[in-house]
Amino acid sequence: MQRQGIIRRYDSKLSALSRLIDSSIILLTFLALIDIFQADWAPIYVWALLFSIILFNFFAESQDAYRSWRGANIREEVETVLFSWVTGVFFLILIDIFLIHDQAYSEPFIAIWIILTPIELVSWHALVRSILAIIRTKGHNTRKVAIVGATSLGQRLEQSFNQMEWSGYRLEGYYDDRGVDSENRDDRTQASKKIELAGNIEKLISNCQSGKVDAVYITLALSAEYRIKDIVSKLSDSTASVYLVPDLFTFNLLNSRWVDYQGITAVSIFDTPFSGLDSLLKRMEDIVLSFLILCLIAIPMLFIAIGIKITSKGPILFKQSRYGMDGEKFSVWKFRSMTVAENGDSIRQATKGDSRITPFGAFLRRTSLDELPQFINSLGGDMSIVGPRPHAVAHNEEYRSQIQGYMLRHKMKPGITGLAQINGFRGETDTLDKMEGRVHYDLLYIQTWSLWLDFKIIFLTVFKGFLHKNAY
């Protein structure tokens, strides 16, 4: 009977140890500052510590902070840890403001704890990475690796190894039974003609058995199933670690991830990043920020409503059907800026000098103030503050057949602002190239989403998103 294995998370024990050390830093820093300031212990401090540790670990897990960082830039790890702490403290203060009303965070030693703890956390992570990097660059804790398959994927893997010398990976060579110029090799690997083979598979087995190779990376095409099985079977007669690098780059991946079903592993090709805890996190972000923003803009919205009513005939607000999450229709709210409120099968985009735009509406559109009612959409759950901008249903039907992957924009809720908008793709899309550019950034946002990216987009929208030459 063939033995079946289960794919497990890499370095799970080290991840648990890292979480324990981070939590200990949070706790011990708090206790040390109480002793230094000779502050009286209060029961609320127990809850403050408990929630700070829980929230930090929650946001750190959502940002995948405890994965193996061996092949990543140290700046990415530092940003992730720092962001997890700042976000956790932000929600801790909100809990105090709206539920506890204790204002414990105003105590001097707690203020110092809030500032000092992230410095310690970042310093600890940076120190560990720096020590490991120094050890590996001196030739210690290194791994001699071999690549099976003279393919373009193998070359990309080699480039990754070369770009992170500090990680300790040392390429021993390429191994393949076929010559690099084999007629059977697919077109994507023809760029690999400069690869010099270290030997065939039998030579690889011999090197693995003699200890010349510590790890083997198989980069053959997915169609080479039987060859891969044969190579893996032969490598089982050695102590080398074996990694299968599937050539998934033949697909245009959207938020790809491993999924485990009772030990059976699948790879998603097209997926949404907003599932499970990430979905809850994104919704919490929308509810909290939408509520705070609506409180700030309530009075300006009242004056805008009065201005619309005085300067032109018609309703103050108008709604238009858009595609939302998973392609389901919803009604988006806007301040009326035109003499018409089109919502049919054929909708003409606003153009520069459009006669349908009212004088006051032109001001609203230039400053993006006509979009403010969409924070109600965000609070209600139809939209998100950050995400792909929703297009009219008529425009969706037009472009879905012209741009590959267009409908993948709807793997998440549409947004009031987005990555495309801060990169200049807003307003009229009078050419296919402009729409393709917008879709490119929309899909890039879904692929790379994080809370940090959301806050960055919101911040940049203030400077790049509201006023723009294409806003008319």
Structure-block tokens of residue 191? 């760029």
- The CA distance from 84 to 28, in Å, is 18
Is 452 in contact with 77 (CB distance < 8 Å)?
A: no
pLDDT score recorded for residue 353? 60
* CA distances from residue 176 to 84, 170, 296, 395 in whole angstroms, order as listed: 45, 18, 65, 50
Instruction: Output the DSSP codes for 353-418.
Output: T-TTB-HHHHHHHHTTGGGTTHHHHHHHTSSEEESPPPPBHHHHHHHTTTSTTGGGGGGS--EEE-
CATH topology classification for 143-250:
Rossmann fold (3.40.50)
In this structure, the chain runs to a length of 472
Q: Tokens 């946002």: give the residue.
A: 445
- The CA distance from 357 to 312, in Å, is 10
Nearest to 317 by CA among 271, 247, 261, 373: 373
312-316 average pLDDT score: 87
Structure-block tokens of residue 224? 């080479």
Assess whether pLDDT exceeds 90 at residue 117.
Answer: yes
| Residue pLDDT, tens place only, 209-220 | 888 888 899 988
* Domain coordinates in residue numbering, the chain: 12-137, 143-250, 277-465
**Which residues lie closer than 8 Å to 458 by C-beta, 6 or more apart?**
289, 385, 386, 417
- The CA distance from 68 to 141, in Å, is 15
Ranking 99-103, 116-120, 167-171 by mean pLDDT, the lowest is 99-103
pTM of the predicted protein model: 0.61
Assess whether pLDDT exceeds 70 at residue 163.
Answer: no
Is 204 in contact with 229 (CB distance < 8 Å)?
A: no
Of the segments 3-12, 24-33, 84-93, which one has the largest average pLDDT value? 24-33
* Average pLDDT value for the chain: 80
Ranking 364-368, 378-382, 438-442 by mean pLDDT, the lowest is 364-368
169-195 average pLDDT score: 63
Assess whether pLDDT exceeds 90 at residue 161.
Answer: no
Q: Tokens 């089109």: give the residue.
A: 342
Ranking 32-46, 265-279, 356-370 by mean pLDDT, the lowest is 265-279
Q: How far is CA 72 from the centre of its chain?
A: 15
Residue 199 β-bridge partners: 175
| Residue pLDDT, tens place only, 238-297 | 888 888 887 776 666 666 666 655 566 676 777 777 766 678 889 989 999 999 999 999
162-170 average pLDDT score: 69
| Long-range pairs for 33-41: beta carbons < 8 A, 24 or more residues apart | 33/109, 33/110, 33/112, 33/113, 33/116, 34/109, 36/109, 37/108, 37/109, 39/107, 39/109
pLDDT score recorded for residue 188? 42
pLDDT score recorded for residue 72? 59
Instruction: Output the DSSP codes for 162-204.
Output: HHTGGG-EEEEEEE-SS-TT-TTS-GGGGGGTTPPEEE-HHHH
- Percent of the chain past pLDDT 70, that is, above it, reads 77
What is the greatest pairwise CA distance in the chain?
A: 87
436-459 average pLDDT score: 89
| Residue pLDDT, tens place only, 329-346 | 899 999 988 876 665 555
pLDDT score recorded for residue 260? 59
Q: How far is CA 98 from the centre of its chain?
A: 30
